[in-house]
Amino acid sequence: MKLSLFATHRTPGRISARGTRRTSAAITGAALAGLLATATPAATAAPAHEASAPRTASAAAALAAPDIPLTNVKAHLTQLSSIAAANGGNRAHGRAGYLASINYVKGKLDAAGFVTSVQQFTSGGATGYNLIADWPGGDTNQVVMAGSHLDSVTSGAGINDNGSGSAAVLEAALAVSRAQLQPTKHLRFAWWGAEELGLVGSRYYVNNLSTANRARISGYLNFDMIGSPNPGYFVYDDDPTIEQTFKDYYAGLGVPTEIETEGDGRSDHAPFKNVGIPVGGLFTGASNTKSAAQAQKWGGTSGVAFDRCYHRSCDTLANIDDTALDRNSDAAAYAIWTLSGA
């Protein structure tokens, strides 16, 4: 999650043209060529339709949503951590670690039968990448998207921010493949670049969609920082149907939720919302302090930030609450299954 809309130029992660040249030398030509060989524009033509709000599937269909294995999600986090360690300690925009992260996620999705495309953009003198993955089938006039930002800040590996969301979305997509899901609506997954510089990748994607293709997106679900070590359980209060879907899931667990306010407008749902696309998502807190009432409700430590390692080098594999990550990964799958009419 980026710092704030008003702190874009102060956010760690922007690199100069000189820094870009140094970084580019560290990226092998073979890796870049392999990545771009399959790149296609993210938006494709299809018949126009009127936008419709996501609808809730039957209770029986919702019950079919899988339990996302925490061990699988954490295995992806381990890979992202290793990628950062091998590439200067981070996975930031314009750095070798980000490109390696894109290649890792893309490889998993290609092997699972997704149709993937890589969208290029430029920010701060460096090339950035969005990864889009479409699951074949479903009504392409009604698209349910789930996404997360894949970049970290330059100060660390970014395992909670936002390896947690990226790993959960990846494993939910792989669960779709394992189930050979045939939802009513079309499913699309996305991993955004340069979020930490001001939502650059997701804004580029939305701005380059035609009006007709924007109208085809029934809902966008965002997952940014969903494994904070002193977690809260926050639900976006944007689209009522999406919001209620997440609340229903947590009500079934007996876990109370609160409306998300700390990150409002500061993550990749904002560009979608700004053009009228229904959005929703989950969040476990960043630098805000957990209150006594929240600690009583959720456990954890009052008077301490939800994530003391937010945008710091200590955002490592040790900076994850397994229970929060597990619950939110399952909630993501529940929402994807339910809202797509699976």
List residues with catalytic annotation. 195
Tell me the two tokens of residue 293.
Answer: 């009432």
Q: Rounded distance, CA 339 to CA 246, Å?
A: 10
Q: In what order do the strands lie in the sheet with 258-259?
A: 115-123, 126-135, 185-192, 139-149, 217-223, 279-283, 234-235, 258-259
Mark out the alpha helices in the chain (DSSP H runs). 17-26, 29-36, 59-63, 70-86, 96-111, 165-179, 200-207, 211-215, 240-253, 269-274, 292-298, 322-339
Q: Taking Cα atoms as reference points, which of 109, 221, 223 lies closest to residue 160?
A: 223
Residue 168, C-beta contacts closer than 8 angstroms, at least 6 positions apart: 68, 73, 148, 223, 226, 325, 328, 329, 332
Q: Rounded distance, CA 63 to CA 290, Å?
A: 32
Q: Rounded distance, CA 77 to CA 90, Å?
A: 13
